[in-house]
Amino acid sequence: MAESTIKLTIKFGGRSIPLSVSPDATTKDLKSLLQPITNVLPRGQKLIFKGKVLGETSTLKQSLVGDGAKIMLMASQGLHQGEGPVLKEASTRPISRTVVDKAKPGLVVDKNRADRWKATGVIALAQANLKEIPEEVWECGSAARVLDVSENFIREVPARISSFTSIHKLFLQGNGLSDESVQWEGIASLKRLMLLSISHNNLTVLPSEVGSLTSLRQLDVANNKLTSLPNEIGLLTQLEIFKANNNRITSLPENIGDCSFLMEVDLSANMISELPETVTKLRKLKTLELNNTGLTNLPSVLFKMCLQLSTLGLHNTEITVESLRQLEGWSEFDERRRTKHQKQIDFRVVGSGQFDEGADKSW
């Protein structure tokens, strides 16, 4: 009687990954199994057994791969999903930081600066070598309109942030924040908040409390470790820009379509394999970035329903131009796309005197 399964060991980046598969599984099937484990897209995987690259359509049995076999996985550059290979830690500093004077390890807040914060409503403390939000900041209370503590080493965003009842913009990116670092009930109470940037941190969960931020126009949760998005994101009916690229998101909630004001969405470098049909309800959508994802197709009426869509990023996906041309509304979308890129080219030629051959890289 034939074996029902065989046990394999996949060697990848210093790891040993055990798998049980059918000997009748093809190399393509094996790559699909490895995708969620390694964050490497199937076409970026090269499987090597006894010095030979396994053929895509060959079964393990045909390739003489038996029980207890060891297979090496090599990943191509640029074809990782999410934050890249599982061994690589995400950076919490998106850009270079200036060197802090060793003689001043902390930030000294003088009274004049605190008075200026209260007068202008703008608290600018980016790249200030902070480990916590200074006490003087909290004294601003309802006078604060903008708080920027990005690219520091902030260990906690406490619930007392709810005292900023008039705040419009909150920048928390690049602090290495974890799920336990953020008291979301405090942020959720900021009913006037229009921009929240919490990218380049170590969040694995975007909690349901985010749905309380009904005044949000921009939400940036890129470069974290999110695996999903809450259903409550559909409550953000004023949201115009949503960036969630470079995470580990596998699917989108159906009610993403309720965010009817969305104009720009970036979901690149995630583990998304399909989009919900409700995406076609985003009638104001102009830009949709889906590069480096596991997508194999798009909703069939995307071009027909999203009549303002002019930028569609599909680099390093399995979706071909030929398949896009079969979708209803392709011609109109293609005309919008070409018109937009021509305007960009004209602007660059007039503005800089140089022609940019990369102007037409996105669909």
- Count of domains forming the chain: 2
Residue type, 68: G
What's the pLDDT at 151? Answer: 95
Quick check: is 363 in a domain?
A: no
Same domain? 219 vs 290? yes
CATH code where residue 33 lies: 3.10.20.90
One DSSP character per residue, 44-57 reads GEEEEETTEEPPTT
pLDDT of residue 5: 85
358 within a domain of the structure (yes/no): no
| Structural domain of 69 | 6-75
Q: What is the structure's pLDDT at 141?
A: 94
> Which residue type sits at 209?
E
Distance CA 62, CA 230 (A): 44
Low-confidence ranges of the chain (pLDDT < 70): 1-3, 77-111, 347-363
Please identify, among 45, 75, 105, the residue that sits at the C-terminal boundary of a domain: 75
Sign of CA dihedral 88, 93, 96, 100: negative
> Is the model's pTM score more than 0.75?
no
pLDDT at 343: 80
Domain's final residue, options 75, 104, 133: 75
**Domain containing residue 302: CATH number:** 3.80.10.10
Residues 67 and 180 in one domain: no
Residues 180 and 272 in one domain: yes
Predicted pLDDT of residue 164: 97
3-state SS, 102-149, equals: CCCCCCCCCHHHHHHHHHHCEEECCCCCCCCCCHHHHCCHHHCCEEEC
The answer to whether residue 83 sits within a structural domain is no
